[in-house]
Chains A and B, each alone.
Chain A
Amino acid sequence: MKKSPKASVRAPALRTAAPPGGKVAIRKLPTGVRGLDEILGGGLPEFSFNIIAGAPGCGKTTLAHQFVFANATVRSPALYFTVLGEPPIKMLRYQQQYSFFDATKLSKSVRFINLSDVVAEKDLNAVLARITEEVASACPGVVVVDSFRTVMKKNSGLVQSDHYQQSFIERLAMLLTSYQATTFLVGEYSESEVHDNPVFTVADGLLLLSQIAERNSVVRKLQVVKLRGQASVPGLHTIRIGNSGLQAFSRTFGLVNGKAMSETRKRLSIGIPELDKLLGGGIPEGDSVLIAGPSGTGKSALATQFINAGLLRGEAGVIAIFEERPAKYAARAADLGLNFKTPQKTGRLEILYLRPLDLSVDETMQEILEAVHKTGAKRLVIDSLVGFEMALSPGFRADFRESLYRMIAALTGVGVTVLSTVEIEDSFTAFQFSHYAISFLTDDIIRLRYVEIDGQLRKILGIIKMRGSNHSKDIREYVIDDRGVVIINPRRTDYTALTSGLPRQVGEKKEPPPEAKALN
């Protein structure tokens, strides 16, 4: 076998610092797919022999191309073997539409070699001989065979085909490993075929792509079924194919290795001094707070005041909204005397308007996370959870609560304080915290509600829960005026059954209503 002199100049593993204990250091190669490196545990192991499997249309070829263009260089080129299936000329026609496709890399760094003739006319030995010839000549750093299934299928009718195929795969794997090539075999394999196919036994890594249709929505998923030598993030991760190729959305949102919150947590002002007192000094930093109440009780005003309090302290913030445009949201803040336009211009505040339509919940959350990272936000408002869920396609709603839980847990884990609003209908017979069943993911709950007193619908609030800290048990009346939510001084008139919404006055009336009753 002829060995290219180039082989001697490419020894990346030797350049990697040896870890303690004399163990070999496995360099991790970038995949070129946004979000995928994090899922893989830092990248794809160098010299690994991998399979990208999945039904047609899942993005297998695009993923392989992204890896190729991210890693191929003149000194360490990529060989892309095409076999039957998609005609190479069409493949080039379509793949060049993606932004990652760098035409200047073609020929020198990325070489496409068509094996259709040898596969159609000869056997696996001839295929291996041709691959060997090309690999020996180019000494590539990356090798792709697309579609590998076509190669194997063509030879599946031969006598002793199982042994024959296994031998071919083993020889191919040894060849490519000995030439220090990181390899992808691309094939239209389904999940059920993974268990009894020899190619999956030999492979170091197996990425399984799928498309799931639900009602009118289709979502693509990626699963790292197998990856030798390093820990990957388990489970099904959403992927999307856009102008820049594939993008993957890790189930951990890339926050698993975030900086942990300090043990001593400070209290954050919510922007309403009297409410801060009820909260025992403010919201503990890194908490998830739920503001629950019916329409018009001031949930958004309270959220706005919370963000503004942070901005006044120099803390950047992000507001994710679903029901109105950012300009209108900022204008409503201005009505309360709060200046959101300046911090928006300086990049300390981002108001995200999200109408995801067919986006998955993970993708939407990724947008929120990117805004948090971009601004360095310490405070995040999600206004509202109901709007968020409704903005998703029906097919994605099943994942909503689980994804929301993962995102909130990840964000609060690195010290971001998350305030979510949720609209609930007031019942005049019961006092719900949230029919939404998301209170499990919140540390603190503030409940707003209407009560009927003396022919007026007045507003009261109470702190229902503060995880790990004491808080006021008082039910307090508040109003919304041009300053936002304003808690009025404790009332001296006594009532009972306030939480029912239909309280009864106990004793003598001792003060007028906070907002004057209309005169007849």
Chain B
Amino acid sequence: MKNEAFDVRDVVQRLIAEESRAEHSSDKGSRAAFRVCDKLRKSLSTLVGTTGFRLLLIRALNLAKAEAAGLDNARINPNGTVEFASEIESGQSPDDASRGETALMVQLLGLLVTFIGATLTRSILQDVWPEAALIRPESGEDKS
């Protein structure tokens, strides 16, 4: 199979953008990266089990903390959902909070790519976001 481009950070940003576009009035207040993570949780829990997903997310969180200190306030629940302290509670700006959530998603997708490769990861993501364009047309190599 052709090794198509898969820049993890770029893909995460595309998914967040996709969720931001799809934002409904009922979602106001919840953050796009948060919803990306939750949608992925539902899909990945079917594939690897709730425990399997939760353990991957814990690992991703530990890795992401190195680049986003604000994640120290994040917690992974037993069902695999992420709980963030609000910006006010954590004293972070919304931009910092968004940076932290993005970092967490980048690490989570990075782990998936490490374990099962870009092709399968993309297949899983495409299943959850069938309309999302996950490949940059100008890229020619797997950057993950």
**Residues of A participating in the B interface, judged by any CB pair closer than 8 Å:** 87-90, 92-93, 96, 103-104, 106-108, 112-117
Contacts and interface: CB of A to CB of B under 8 A. Distances in A.
Contacts of A104: 1, 123
B50 interface: yes
A471 to B, nearest CB: 61
Given A90-B115, A93-B116, A107 B124 contact: yes
Interface string B105-122: 000000010011101100
A62 to B, nearest CB: 17
Interface of B: 1, 45-52, 56, 112, 115-117, 119-120, 123-124, 126-127
A103 B124 CA distance: 10
A104 B46 CA distance: 18
A96 B51 contact: no
A115 B45 CA distance: 10
Given A89-B115, A104-B1, A117 B49 contact: yes
7 contacts: A88-B49, A88-B52, A89-B115, A92-B115, A103-B120, A107-B126, A114-B48
B120 A88 contact: no
A96 B120 contact: yes
Contacts of B1: 103-104
A-B pairs with lowest CB-CB distance, top 5: A114-B49, A107-B127, A116-B49, A103-B119, A92-B116
Contacts of B45: 114
Contacts of A92: 115-116, 120
A92 B126 CA distance: 17
Contacts of B47: 88-89, 112-114
Contacts of B48: 87-89, 114
Given A93-B115, A96-B116, A113-B47, A103 B123 contact: yes
Contacts of B116: 89, 92-93, 96
Interface majority SS on B: helix, strand, loop or mixed? helix
A291 B52 CA distance: 64
Residue with the highest number of chain B CB atoms closer than 10 Å, among A90, A107, A115, A116: A107
A96 B127 contact: no
A295 B116 CA distance: 57
A107 B124 CA distance: 7
Nearest to A120: B51
Contacts, number: 56
A87 B49 CA distance: 9
Given A89-B112, A108-B127, 17 more contacts: A88-B48, A89-B47, A89-B52, A90-B115, A93-B117, A96-B116, A103-B117, A104-B123, A106-B120, A106-B123, A106-B124, A114-B47, A114-B49, A114-B52, A115-B49, A116-B49, A117-B51
Nearest to B43: A107
A340 to B, nearest CB: 41
Nearest to B56: A89
A116 B49 CA distance: 6
A87 B119 contact: no
A96 B121 CA distance: 12
A117 B50 contact: yes
A153 to B, nearest CB: 17
Contacts of B127: 107-108
A487 B51 CA distance: 81
A115 B47 CA distance: 9
Nearest to A87: B52
Residue with the highest number of chain A CB atoms closer than 10 Å, among B1, B49, B126, B127: B49
A20 B49 CA distance: 49
Nearest to A83: B49
Contacts of B126: 107
A93 B45 CA distance: 17
A88 B124 CA distance: 14
B124 to A, nearest CB: 7
B108 to A, nearest CB: 12
Contacts of B117: 93, 96, 103
Contacts of B124: 106-107
A113 B46 contact: yes
A485 to B, nearest CB: 55
A108 B51 CA distance: 24
A107 B123 contact: yes
A208 to B, nearest CB: 29
A116 B44 CA distance: 13
A90 B116 CA distance: 8
A428 to B, nearest CB: 67
B37 to A, nearest CB: 17
Contact of B52 (A93, A107, A116): A116
A104 B120 CA distance: 8
A366 to B, nearest CB: 29
